[in-house]
Structure 1
Amino acid sequence: MAKHETPFLDQLESGPWPSFVSDLKQQAEVRAKNEKGVEFQIPQDCVDDLLGIVELSYKHGRTHWKHGGIVGVFGYGGGVIGRYCDQPQAFPGVEHFHTMRVNQPAGKYYTTDYLRKLTDLWDFRGSGVTNMHGATGDIILLGTTTPQLEEVFWTLTHDYNQDLGGSGSNLRTPADCLGQSRCEYACYDTNALVHFLTNEYQDELHRPAFPYKFKFKLDGCPNCCVASIARSDMSFIGTWKDDIRIDQDAVNKYVENDAAYPANAGAHKGGDWGPFDIEKEVIALCPTGCMKFENKKLAIDNANCTRCMHCINVMPKALKIGKETGCSILCGAKAPILDGAQMGSLLVPFIEVNPDNDYEAITEVIENIWDWWMEEGKNRERLGELIMRQGFQKLLEVTGIEAMPQHVQYPRTNPYIFWKEDEVTGGWERDVEEYRKHHQR
């Protein structure tokens, strides 16, 4: 029997979608019955009290969680998010209810044995409530008390060979897609690179020293399954330099609606779309109009291709990514904090992803940006906001990257040209002197 009445939360279960409320109620019931006989290290009714305080927040229209100071594990400045309830008398089970972020493995690959050990640990020393995974990517362990933090940390690091993730003004846990381990579209090994970045920048990950948070997210191809272009301060998106590979016979199999070549991953079979129409569903939808299909032959003007992936997604047996692969680096995406939401801006159109030299070209870009941001960034100013404040040209200067046409989002809408002093010093003086000499003659 639930301790608290939750009419507001009950409404959230009435919609067509799965609700977190149902999950919490189920977990509260599991803890109440405790059929496994677990010796809980935090209050048995903590999830019941969690439902109660969330209900109260809905009723009052404000949160009842407060910031009660910094809490963490010895030697780390991040990885634990302190949560304290401002109604401890009414809800003692969540008087303190801290969140722990655990560094997810590259590609989020787990063994069932590991998952069982992790959930058993959290049932024992926490609430048993997890989020697989948080928006940053971490395994989220929701709800424990201060004395249990070091106990959980010891077990994770010593017994499970697992580390905490990032929180606070530091490097957040790098996240990636499955990459070449599962996906034919992947242009580089995202799992290898995210593993390298996680190990290379341990100090930045665990000991906050940045103006604000910094996120790496890695997409193996322009399909951007991790949405890195919208959610990371530095986004690595797989791409290629050469031409899209075309199998003309397979193209015609799609056009002929061959059953062995279902377009759009077979979506036509599940919907009333009618037969596949290459002109309507591929050629007309190319954002730059760089494709044409004539005399049973598909032609692509690769110089104008923007790597949107649409044609490859529709006809994967006929079109494949190029062979000269690498990634693009974009900077500055974030959610609305100070200056509103921003998408990433293209900084490096193409860079080779080379593990043989410890990704030297990539780490050079990263560290140049960090040096600038740590020197010039204001408190709680994300990289994208610094770029807006000082200009993209400054970003090019600090990274030593020359301006390219790919850096231009759209042509300027005013006629003014601004020159730096060192670019014109002496030049205009010589022009004035020549002008005077000419008129004196």
Structure 2
Amino acid sequence: MAKMHPTPMLDELEKGPWPSFVTDIKRLAEAGKDACADLLGQLELSYKDKEGHWKHGGIVGVLGYGGGVIGRYSDVPDLFPGVEHFHTLRVNQPASKFYKTERLREVMDIWERRGSGMLNMHGSTGDMVLLGAFTEELEPIFAELTAKGWDLGGSGSALRTPACCVGKARCEWACIDTQDICYDLTMEFQDEMHRPAWPYKFKFKVDGCPNGCVASIARSDCSIIGTWKDDIRIDQEAVAAYAAGEICANGGAHGPDTKLDIQADVCDLCPTRCMSYDGKKLYIDNKECTRCMHCINLMPQALRPGTETGASILVGAKAPILEGAQMSSLIIPFIPMEAPYEEFKDFVEKMWDWWDENGKNRERIGELIQRKGLQEFLKAVELEPDPRMVKEPRYNPYIFYQEDEVPGGFERDIKEYRKRHAR
């Protein structure tokens, strides 16, 4: 058993009905992990001093990689030698986080022998996060992981580990093969993941449908969201069954006797009011539909996505670090997403080139688009402006055009205006 430190303040976190990380770390410390015992001691000191006791001791990593390891050192190593070095390794998760038990045991065995034994399942980007390794153990841990087929994820100003929802493996709504896309991007952009060279981090996340189970629209610099181009499929007999209460709403989520009011619950709550119901049949003006899936979620046995599927590409989401949180904005309304995804990758390369050339230090691509303007971004990625890219009407009515952007009927007026003012 490791030497335990008195932790009266941390002990308070074990009280109450909820599970406590303190209890978990104590369990490892009692099993003989010095790093865990000293981690608790240092955390207690941080609570007492009201300041963190970690310092950045320079770049640390494994040979050939610039990312995947986050360096951390204690600034009181004489008091807590078990956490003098406390580096974190990010291990690239499989698509959709599907693990075989024996594969997890491989990682756990390596980590029990060479690290602190603590880990997070998972980080916000998805990596398996191994917490607490000494510098001299990094290369042996990396060698053993790669020998078993594992790899490190992204960290620093690099491409972070792509992540996706369960996709077609478990979900009937998936419009794209999220797992194949996630794996393909991970393999294609290895250099961008392991060798940080950008202004700041960049994240791909793949949602199989507009329900957005990995919240790509809020959590990724480039959101890939499965969608469809044709009409929503309607089973009018099932619509009638919902209206009659023969099929309960929301798949029975609110009880077996939940009767659906199609006019109030479906049509009136449609964000574009593109649906109507005459008491017998449901009608959808599909050209006005924004694919929000509200109606499909309410009546899954009556409505299904169309069959001409692909993805919408959005760019620019981030958390509130420098300029505040923002959601990603629609850039490509519809793109086919079938292997080898060349059209999408061509867009990505153009986007990265522009960001790499124009981005400031620690500036995410969404912030750069805000600073330089959507027009500059669209020129760089060679896309035409589309009304669907507009988040909201501009507040400033003084809109100025370049002469070559004005329709022919106005060119004469502009020339006359310039002549008058030139005098």
TM-score, scaled relative to structure 2: 0.93
SS of 1:11 mapped into structure 2:
helix
In the TM superposition, what is the alpha-carbon distance from 1:145 to its structure 2 partner?
0.4
**Is 1:268–1:275's contact at 8 Å kept on the other side of the alignment?**
no
Please say if 1:254 is aligned against 2:242.
yes
Residue in structure 2 matched with residue 431 of structure 1 by the alignment: 416
Q: CA deviation at 1:105?
A: 0.7
> How far does residue 108 in structure 1 lie from its aligned partner after superposition?
1.0
The alpha carbon displacement at 1:255 in A equals: 2.0
Partner of 2:281: 297
Q: 406-415 or 111-120: which moved more?
A: 406-415
The answer on 1:322 being equivalent to 2:311 is no
Deviation at residue 265 of structure 1 after TM alignment: 2.7
Q: Which residue of 2 aligns with 1:92?
A: 81
CA separation of 1:10 and 1:252: change in aligned 2, threshold 3 A:
farther
Q: Secondary structure at the match of 2:320?
A: coil
What amino acid maps onto 2:227 in structure 1?
Answer: T
Does 2:400 match 1:418? Answer: yes
Select the residue among 63, 69, 73 that pairs with 1:74: 63
How many angstroms apart in 1 are the aligned matches of 2:238 and 2:16?
44
Deviations 1:376-423 (A, max 9, x none): 001111101101110111111111111111011111222211223765
Match of 1:345 in 2: 329
**Of 118, 137, 140, which aligns to 1:151?**
140
- The separation in 2 between residues aligned to 1:123 and 1:321, in whole angstroms, is 46
CA distance in 2, matches of 1:167, 1:86: 23
Structure 1 position 381 matched with structure 2 position 363: yes
Question: 1:275, 1:5 → 2: CA distance?
Answer: 58
Q: Distance in 2 between matches of 1:405 and 1:179?
A: 29
What is the deviation of 1:279?
3.0
Q: Name the counterpart of 2:391.
A: 409
Which residue of 1 is the match for residue 254 of structure 2?
268
Residue in structure 2 matching 1:311, options 295, 305, 314: 295
CA pair 417-109 structure 1, distance change in 2 beyond 3 A: same
Equivalent pair of 2:252/2:258 in contact (CA under 8 Å): no
Question: How far, CA to CA, are the matches of 1:433 and 1:316 in structure 2?
Answer: 60
Q: Is the Cα–Cα contact under 8 Å of residues 248 and 259 in structure 2 kept in the other structure?
A: no
Aligned residues: 417
Question: Per-residue deviation at 1:16?
Answer: 4.2
Gaps (5+ residues) in structure 2?
A: none
Shift of 1:435: 6.8
Q: Give per-residue Cα distances to partners, 1:193-242, cap 9 Å, x unaligned.
A: 11111111111110111111111111011111111111111110111111
Q: Does 1:61 align with 2:43?
A: no
- CA distance change for structure 1 residues 430 and 361 in 2, over 3 Å: closer, same or farther? same
Preserved CA contact (<8 Å) 1:68 1:84: yes
Checking the alignment, whether the CA contact within 8 Å between 1:130 and 1:141 is kept in structure 2 is: yes
DSSP 3-state at the match of 2:89: strand
Supply the distance in 2 between the matched residues of 1:101 and 1:145 (Cα, whole angstroms): 15
- 1:162-208 per-residue CA deviation (whole Å, 9 max, x = no partner) reads 11000011111101111111111111001001111111111111011
1:361 shift after superposition:
0.7
Cα distance, 1:210–1:417 mapped onto 2, change above 3 Å: same
Map 1:7-406 onto structure 2 (within 5 A).
Answer: 7-29=8-30, 31-32=31-32, 44-158=33-147, 160-258=148-246, 261-269=247-255, 275-355=259-339, 358-406=340-388
Deviation, 1:432, is 5.6
Give, in angstroms, the shift of residue 266 of structure 1.
1.6
2:248/2:258 contact within 8 Å kept: no
Report the residue type matching 2:129 in the other structure: I
Over 3 Å counting, the alpha-carbon distance change for 1:296 and 1:150 in structure 2 is same
Deviation of 1:268 (Å): 2.0
Q: Deviations over 1:85-143 (max 9, x none)?
A: 11111111111110000111111111110011111110000111111110111111111
CA offset at residue 19 of structure 1? 2.8
Q: Distance in 2 between matches of 1:275 and 1:3?
A: 59
Q: CA deviation at 1:341?
A: 0.7
2-structure distance, mates of 1:79, 1:54: 25
Residues 222-275 of structure 1 show CA distances to partners (whole Å, capped at 9, x for unaligned) of 1111111111111101111111111111122222222xx3321322228xx853
Structure 1: segments with no counterpart, 5+ residues: 33-43
CA RMSD of superposed structures (Å): 2.1
Shift of 1:303: 1.6
Describe the SS at the equivalent of 1:282: helix
Q: Distance in 2 between matches of 1:200 and 1:97?
A: 31
**1:28 shift after superposition:** 2.2
Rate the CA distance shift 1:280–1:23 in 2: closer, same or farther, 3 A: farther
Task: Report the Cα offset of residue 428 of structure 1.
Answer: 7.5
